[in-house]
Amino acid sequence: MLFGFTLSLMVVELCRYAHSPFPCIKRCGDAIKCDISVGDGCTTVLTTQASTKVYKSVESKCSEQVLEARIGSDALLAVIPDPVTCFSTAKYSQTQVFKVFPSSSLLIVDWITSGRYGRGEKWDFELYKSTNNIFLDADEPLFLDTILLEQGRYSSIAERMQDYQVIAMVILLGPKLKFIQDQIQENVKNLMSQQLRIPSGSSGRYGDIDDNRFFTRPSFLASCSVFGPKGRGVVVRIAAMTTESVYSFLQCQLSGLDSLLGVAPYR
């Protein structure tokens, strides 16, 4: 197996100009821009040593990160970081743009926790924005998605998120990940069928959520949907009450990738 890619990294500290290349706000905090090119037939893995921590905002500045990646023919890129953790008052925006060929394969895990929950910071940051765009043959939109969490005038992020402490998205695209796509769709279907149908009381039968007055909110929710021509890609969306449950889900569902990546993700 060949592992090869080129990487260029630009770090911009405390950019202060209105015409900044990072479109979060006119005055921005620390910013990183990363360009990656994965060669034909190669495999590249991007991961982190720990969660990405976004510290409190100073003078309302927004920290930003931009990743642009090109994945060659018959190549695989796996972006499998630990979650982003935003501290109280933090502002953070990230944009990831991927350009693929029909034979390229791509795995993206993008997730965020509620913050330093042990210190009482539950969805206490000011802004979190994450954009993931995938283009086929350089310019044909294949997947366009943005998650935006922002404190509102009439409701906070914590109020809208209820008891959930983690939200996550997993994107699987391309021929090398087809077996994982099929597996994860079936597993999520079975998992949610068990969680969203509960005993209806004394009869011992199972009933729908709306039919049971004693229903409690599931601690883990997941959904799957396909995208692209002929359903070539799968996106999984997750809301969970604990970070550990998401780690366990990722470990289980992505364990079959050890033969492609050399090690199972998140193990």
For the record, the structure tokens of 9 come out as: 């990294």
Q: Measured on CA atoms in the order 24, 67, 244, 226, is the torsion positive or negative?
A: positive
Domain ranges of the chain: 18-195+216-261
pLDDT at 11 (0 to 100):
40
pLDDT at 180 (0 to 100):
96
Overall pTM > 0.75: yes
Tens-digit pLDDT profile for residues 174-228? 999 999 999 999 999 999 988 776 555 545 444 555 555 556 789 999 999 999 9
107 HSE (CA, 13 A, CB side):
28
Mean pLDDT is lowest, of 89-103, 145-159, 164-178, 190-204, for: 190-204
Dist. CA 19–CA 64, nearest whole Å = 14
pLDDT band at 254 (very low <50, low <70, confident <90, very high): very high
- The more confident residue out of 110 and 154 is 110
| Nearest C-alpha neighbor of 255 from the set 243, 266, 239 | 266
pLDDT at 230 (0 to 100):
85
pLDDT at 25 (0 to 100):
43
Dist. CA 107–CA 76, nearest whole Å = 8
Tens-digit pLDDT profile for residues 122-152? 999 999 999 999 999 878 999 999 999 999 9
What's the mean per-residue pLDDT of the chain?
86
